[in-house]
Structure 1
Amino acid sequence: MDIIIADDHPLTLQGTQAFVESYGHHVVGTCANGVSALNMIQLRLPHVAILDINMPAMDGLDVTKKIKELKLKTKVILLTMHKELMLYNKAREFGAYGYILKEHAQDELKKCLEEVEKGNQYVSDSLLKDLISVRETGTSELDKLTFSERKIVELIAQQKTSKQIAEMLFLSEKTIEGHRTNIIEKLGLPKEKNTLLKWAMKNGLDR
């Protein structure tokens, strides 16, 4: 199969490419962000796109959603470090064929590609166990936020300013400030100075 790979971590990108090529597939392009990935997918029309979920400009879910909207035939496999039920449900909604945790990618990517080539969907067993446990223990405060909002909160936890976050996510500072306001309302936080930073650090997002 012709495959495009997108990941903003160079070592992960190179490693994934090496694995995919060792399985006999042809990597027709690699890129480091979602916008480049979508452009390349539209240009090359690969059989499969292997996308990191957490990327600048457009994340893997955004690209997957756009592929569905454009009715492209490229099948998406998402690689992620996230185990949240909300993200998995979004991936299913947007038509992703594969959903694999990065920590198990070396073991499961080959099997996933085999299943996707047959037209089947693939979700790693380890992830399904985690998702079931999440269902049983209920939702967290973070489940109230969109993936983009989570990224912003994580960057706030790293004590990044709105201007720095805007530059990192290729958005305007005004947009980031708008997201901050929405996040504070969703979480029901007091409207005081550094309220989001305090909440993020309290919930361990600075680690």
Structure 2
Amino acid sequence: MTGPAPLRAVVADDHALVRSGVVGVLEGGGLEVVGEASDGHEAVEQALQHRPDVVVMDVRMPRMDGIEGTRRLRRLAEPPQVLVLTTFDLDEYVFRALEAGAAGFLLKDAAPDRLVDAVRVVATGEALLAPVVTRRLIERYLQAPAPVAGPDPAADLSPREREVWQLVAQGLSNTEIAAALVVTEATVKAHVTRLLAKLGVRDRVQAVVRAYESGLVRPGKAG
């Protein structure tokens, strides 16, 4: 009997040495790298040819940068998830990448196992942000006008759901939350699904925003 097919990835980075390093990490983690690209245009071509689950995308690249590449990938009939991997944690790149449709944003100084885990996380459709990026993202969101006040769905959360919410707000993946709470990943997924429904938000990023708005987590304390 054979197990499930490995996740398929395309790696886009204009530096060949960096690109080969990322490829080595992903393949060492049991993923299948089906294509490589040196810019966003090539990333789209590789995605059309190989139909990967995830494209690991650098930001600053010639001809077409990773932001525009992400935008075009997400417009495909069968769009892959996009994990932005960069040395730059500037707010401009975070917001532009998320607006373009990226599911995750990770810095290149992340540990190899963190990168592999991030690809697996975004492949499932979950959002993933490096903790330092999460903090800056939320602080930026909190500068926007406050939403109209309404019923507080957080009042319906169980103690465990509030605990999961706090860990989500710190930028932890389901795997990391499961390890922290000593429960299965399936249990965490169930908690997160109920949490999002009770909070009335569409994804983890919005759940993090609500955590800051509610005072559950304060700027500078997450991560």
So what's the TM-score if we normalise by structure 1?
0.60
Distance of 1:83 and 1:7 partners within structure 2: 16
**Which residue does 1:128 correspond to in 2?**
134
Alignment partners' CA distance in 1, 2:119 and 2:43: 19
1:30: which partner in 2?
A: 36
SS at match of 1:104: coil
Does residue 98 (structure 1) correspond to residue 124 (structure 2)? The answer is: no
1:61 aligns with 2:81: no
SS in 2 for 1:79: strand
**Take 2:77 and 2:97, find their aligned partners in 1: how far apart are those partners?**
16
Q: CA contact under 8 A between 2:59 and 2:93: conserved in structure 1?
A: no
Deviation >6 Å, runs of 4+: 133-137
Cα distance, 1:86 vs structure 2:
2.5
Give the distance between the partners of 2:38 and 2:130, measured in 1 at CA: 24
- 2:219 match: none
**In 2, are the aligned partners of 1:85 and 1:135 still within 8 Å (CA)?**
no
Over aligned residue pairs, what C-alpha RMSD do you find?
2.2
**Cα distance in structure 2, aligned partners of 1:44 and 1:101:** 26
Shift of 1:127: 2.3
Of the candidates 44, 58, 65, which is equivalent to residue 50 of structure 2? Answer: 44
CA deviation after TM superposition for structure 1 residue 9, in Å: 0.9
Which structure: greater helix fraction? 1
Distance 2:111 2:58 in 1: 11
Instruction: Kindly provide the amino acid, as one letter, of the partner of residue 91 in structure 2.
Output: L
Task: Name structure 1 gaps, 5 residues minimum.
Answer: 138-207
Query: In the alignment, is the contact (CA less than 8 A) between 1:83 and 1:130 conserved in 2?
Result: no
For these two proteins, the number of residue pairs brought into alignment is 138
The one-letter amino acid of 2:96's match is K
Equivalence for 2:120? 114
Aligned to 1:157: none
